[in-house]
Amino acid sequence: MRHLMSPLDFSVEELDTLLSLAQDIEAHPEKYAHACAGKKLATLFYEPSTRTRLSHEAAMLNLGGSIMGFSTADSSSATKGESVSDTIRTVSCYADICAMRHPKEGAPMVACEHSRIPVINAGDGGHQHPTQTLTDLLTIKNLKGRLDNMTIGLCGDLKFGRTVHSLIHALVRYSGIKFVLISPEELRLPDYMRLDVLDKKNVPYKEVVRLEDALPELDILYMTRVQKERFFNEEDYVRMKDFYILDRKKMKSAPQDMQVLHPLPRVNEIAVEVDEDPRAAYFKQVQYGVYVRMALILTLLDIHVD
Ligand code: CP
């Protein structure tokens, strides 16, 4: 039985297979419409979500399966003090696979140690968000035709942004990747990512504060919001929240084939006027998230079509 805790749980070859499956699902959805008939997905969300929960549910429904779950800790027995390990033992009796989001780093890992069904980490604290990474990789592959030889700008909250950490882990395995880390001093990428991942693997990167300085050299701009829920005080959040705003004027200095990604939700960091720019890829990214989660569910359940 396989779980997905980190993007590194899949080798580069397995990732290629998974992304190819997602592309085939997009091209031939009818082939997969009953692939999970009789199977149930449980979504156990202890933290708010729109895309991750609903796209897992849409993925299972598109595959002909069924869904169950809770969308807040308040509506589960966690409020009565039930542990994650007891919850997953219980859910293993009801469902065939589950996706869990939890504010505590490592909670989905605890779940998979006590689970009889595959567990998907749907985001744990500021740690990892592997299904967002699968979505990001599929988006980059579909829009740029490759995952190697690219300069990627990561902009915003690089300290708390778990999507950024997961994406770096995944991309450093491809050749010719360079990063431009764009953040205010207070929200720099943590040492455990810079030293232990980028430096250790000799991946070229530079850190800049001004988005304008970075834009001309980027193939991908990955915008992120400031993670309000991870700040200890409101004052710091308010000071940081509008540090970056990508607007039409700034987009003029970006290459014509640069793509703008964002895991969403957006707050103010991308002006709505940018949505009309053909380089704005963040809503395509949402759609790709459904195909890649369909491919993930099939892979973890070991279901083969054809
Ligand atoms: N990208 C993402 O994780 O969005 P949600 O928080 O809405 O699931």
Summarize pLDDT for 134-181 with one digit per residue, the tens.
999 999 999 999 999 999 999 999 998 889 999 999 999 999 999 999
- What is the H or E stretch that residue 236 is in? helix 234-240
State yes or no: is 129 an active-site residue. yes
Give 127's pLDDT tier (boundaries 50, 70, 90). Answer: confident
Give 106's pLDDT tier (boundaries 50, 70, 90). Answer: very high
Asked whether 122 lines ligand 1 (CB < 6 A), one says no
What is the rounded average pLDDT for all residues in the chain?
95
Nearest CA to ligand 1 atom 4: 51
Give 22's pLDDT tier (boundaries 50, 70, 90). Answer: very high
Give 230's pLDDT tier (boundaries 50, 70, 90). Answer: low
Q: Is the pLDDT of residue 240 over 80?
A: no
State yes or no: is 51 an active-site residue. yes
Nearest CA to ligand 1 atom 6: 49
CA 176 – CA 213 distance, rounded (Å): 21
Q: Is the dihedral of CA 150, 156, 158, 164 positive or negative?
A: negative
When pLDDT is averaged across residues 51-70 and rounded to a whole number, the result is: 98
Asked whether 132 lines ligand 1 (CB < 6 A), one says yes
Give me the catalytic one of 53, 129, 162, 262. Answer: 129
Asked whether 55 lines ligand 1 (CB < 6 A), one says no
End-to-end, the C-alpha distance of the chain in Å comes to 22
Phi, psi (deg, nearest 5) at residue 133: -65, -40
Mutate-to-test residue for ligand 1 from 225, 264, 283, highest number of ligand atoms within 8 A of CB: 264
Share in percent of the chain as helix, strand, coil (round to 5): 45, 15, 40
Nearest CA to ligand 1 atom 5: 49
Ligand 1 atom, smallest distance to 48 CA: 6
Ligand 1 atom, smallest distance to 54 CA: 8
Summarize pLDDT for 23-35 with one digit per residue, the tens.
999 999 999 999 9
Asked whether 264 lines ligand 1 (CB < 6 A), one says yes
- What is the H or E stretch that residue 260 is in? strand 259-261
Asked whether 51 lines ligand 1 (CB < 6 A), one says yes
When pLDDT is averaged across residues 77-106 and rounded to a whole number, the result is: 97
CA 49 to ligand 1 center in whole angstroms: 5
Is residue 75 a contact partner of residue 152, using CB atoms and an 8 Å limit?
A: no
When pLDDT is averaged across residues 49-68 and rounded to a whole number, the result is: 98
Ligand 1 atom, smallest distance to 52 CA: 8
Half-sphere exposure of 179 (CA within 13 A, CB side): 27
Q: What is the pTM of this model?
A: 0.95
Ligand 1 atom, smallest distance to 53 CA: 8
Give me the catalytic one of 39, 40, 43, 52. Answer: 52
Give 241's pLDDT tier (boundaries 50, 70, 90). Answer: confident
DSSP of 149-172, one letter per residue? SEEEEEES-TTT-HHHHHHHHHHT
CA 286 – CA 304 distance, rounded (Å): 25
Q: Is the pLDDT of residue 231 over 80?
A: no
Q: Is the pLDDT of residue 232 over 70?
A: no
Q: Is the pLDDT of residue 249 over 70?
A: yes
Asked whether 49 lines ligand 1 (CB < 6 A), one says yes
pLDDT of residue 74: 93
